[in-house]
Structure 1
Amino acid sequence: MPIQTVGILSPGDMGQAIASVLNQHELKTIAALENRSLRTRQLAAAANIEDVGSLTQLVIESDVVLSVLVPAAAAEVAKQVAEVIDNVGKPILYVDANAIAPQKVKRIAHLIESVGGTFVDAAIIGPPPRVPGRTRIYASGKQASEFQQLGNYGLDIRVIGDEIGQASGLKMSYAALTKGLTAIGTELLIAAHRLGLDEELWQEVSHSQPELAAILTRSIPSMTPKAHRWIGEMEEIAETFQELGLTERIFYGAADVYRLVNDTSLGQETPEESNRDRLLSEVITTLADEIADE
């Protein structure tokens, strides 16, 4: 089936950027902005996403619905979409691109398929795709090749298998490394600040681990406005690892780090408000001062 219209759930920072790429390549994107925030409406308008009002209308008009949400919302929104599919009788392709555990995405797939929809498991790795070549979308499931049509409209989509859960498993494994490392780096640098050892630690890390120093310099300042989303992502990773018989404690701890960051002034900024030129040392000082001692 040729894809002509893509419904975006929801046009936040990532969803808006994906829609913008599709629109630039002349593929229509729509969103259900009924009762959504002013920021979401503004992001949608900036990307030329058409507002169709309700979720029902979005399902009616879409060939593909792409779900890009905070992890905690993924299952509930999928349930709402399934109810609409059942009511209107339209067998759309539902693509779950949320950072959720493989066992959870399998349950969502069963829900969508039980009402006549088709399903693809997807995983976004990289930043919002505003710069070509930096963002990859991995996909799995029997309908993944259908979703791969969007590769003709500016997205880098890579099919990795026929099984639901493969793409999500890749996301969980990769984010455990990248965002897990950022959480560890954030906490240890705050600890060094409180011990009065900022300069000494950073000199040693820069000397003995220059690649790591470069990663932390880049990743921690850009993390703060996204910490609220990464809480749930770390919890999903914890559930994934627990299901595999591994320890989940590391990632519940990482979730706690992001929860602390989220409660600071830096964590309350939106990506648009965040100062992208803010130095790592400034970020750590602010976090160390604002995160209360337990």
Structure 2
Amino acid sequence: MTALGILHPGSMGAAVAAQAKRTGAEVLWCPAGRSKATQERARQYGLSEARDLAEMAQRCEVILSLCPPANAEEVATAVAAESFAGIYVDGNAISPARMGRISSVLTSAGATVVDGSVIGSPPSETKTPRLYLSGQDDALAAVALLFEGTAVVPHLLEGGTGKASALKLAYTSYQKSSRVLAAVAYALADDHGVGTELLSIAQGRSTSYLAEIAYIPKVAARSWRWAPEMRETADALAETGLPSDLAAAAALVMDRWAGSRDQKLNIGEALARLHASPEE
């Protein structure tokens, strides 16, 4: 029986780790210092208690870290201090650079590091999140095997650690920001009594902008006039006391495309121009 340790069983971590029980793994967690809500979650999913982190590091072949991003390095350092020599999966929403630092710390201590990211809602009878993994091939295969046939669907990425983290943040940059921007848009519309009309416009769409990559070059070509429009939007938001930062930031991004006016770029060219400031 493979033993999997989970650090720490939040709503996502507990649900993901518990899926490994379906493949016969024992799932351990450390109750020390954890909240009542976390303890209840662990009981709900039937997780086994480890006395402390030292016991988890000794008993587990795989340790999965799913914690707040700000704590990812601290958690990894604590595991490294226990001389963990198994597979450490960092599944947190962290930058590739931070992932590199974590990998260095744990590899030096003797562990094999897998970069992971969970995209989707916590697994359930109706939800099947994807678990993206990058790193050494043998370690990826071992982790994927823990979730084979479960509601957590492993996807292996080539190219070493950092790939899974980059994918998570690329998706998050759109998913999270777009939801915040939607809230700001509706707040502005409601302030002027046109919230229902805005919803009607939105409901007329059937696809996500994130899936419409062919439109990106058109955005670049039109940014010379869209950037001023976003600055007007920022002003309108500020006039009613709403946060204007996202609209202003969108205009700054569009400034990167200042020299693309009415040009017929391909997607690669449009994306490349985002790396250079208008002065360059």
TM-score, normalised with respect to structure 1? 0.67
Give the drift of 1:212: 5.8
Q: Distance in 1 between matches of 2:197 and 2:127?
A: 37
Aligned CA-pair RMSD? 2.4
Q: Which runs of 5+ in 2 are unaligned?
A: 210-244, 251-280
Matched, 1:159 2:156: yes
Residue 38 of structure 2 corresponds to 40
Partner residue in 2 for 1:169: 166
How many Å separate the matches in 2 of 1:100 and 1:75? 10
CA distance in 1, matches of 2:179, 2:154: 26
Relative contact order: is structure 1 or structure 2 higher (C-alpha 8 Å, sep ≥ 6)? 1
TM-score (norm 2): 0.70
Match of 2:95 in 1: 101
**Cross-structure match for 2:194:** 197
Structure-2 change in CA distance of 1:204 and 1:132 (3 Å): closer
Aligned partner of 1:149 in structure 2 is 145
Aligned-partner residue type, residue 182 of structure 2: G
The 8 Å contact of residues 128 and 153 in structure 2, kept in 1 or not, is answered as: no
Trace 1:75-154 onto structure 2 (pairs within 5 A): 75-85=73-83, 90-131=84-125, 134-142=128-136, 143-152=139-148, 154=150
SS across alignment from 1:152: coil
Structure 1 unaligned runs (5+)?
214-248, 255-294
SS in 1 for 2:81: helix
Aligned counterpart, 1:244: none
How far apart are 1:58 and its partner, in Å?
Answer: 1.2
Question: Distance between the aligned counterparts of 1:116 and 1:132, measured in 2?
Answer: 38
CA distance in 1, matches of 2:18, 2:147: 14
Contact 2:23–2:146 (CA under 8 A) maintained in structure 1: no
Query: Are the counterparts in 1 of residues 148 and 154 from structure 2 also a CA contact under 8 Å?
Result: no
Q: Report the equivalent of 2:240.
A: none
For these two proteins, the number of residue pairs brought into alignment is 212
Alpha-carbon distance between aligned partners in 2 of 1:152 and 1:212, rounded to the nearest angstrom: 30
Deviations 1:57-85 (A, max 9, x none): 11111110000011111111111111112
Is the partner of 2:93 in helix, strand or coil? coil
Q: Which letter does structure 1 place at the counterpart of 2:46?
A: N
Q: 1:158 to 1:132 in 2, by over 3 A?
A: farther
How far is the alpha carbon of 1:26 from its aligned partner? 2.7
Match of 2:67, SS state, is: coil
SS at match of 2:6: strand
Summarize deviations over 1:79-136 as a string: whole Å, max 9, x none. Answer: 1111112xxxx41210000011111101100000011111000111111111366211
Does the 8 Å contact 2:62/2:88 carry over to 1?
Answer: yes
Tell me, in whole angstroms, the C-alpha distance in 2 between the residues paired with 1:250 and 1:67. Answer: 31
In the TM superposition, what is the alpha-carbon distance from 1:22 to its structure 2 partner? 1.7
Report the Cα distance in structure 2 between the residues aligned to 1:159 and 1:250, rounded to whole angstroms: 34
CA 1:168–1:67: 2 relative to 1, 3 Å: same
Check if 1:186 corresponds to 2:183. yes
State the 1:8 CA deviation: 0.3
Once residues 33 and 157 of structure 2 are traced to their aligned partners in structure 1, the CA distance between those partners, rounded to angstroms, is 37
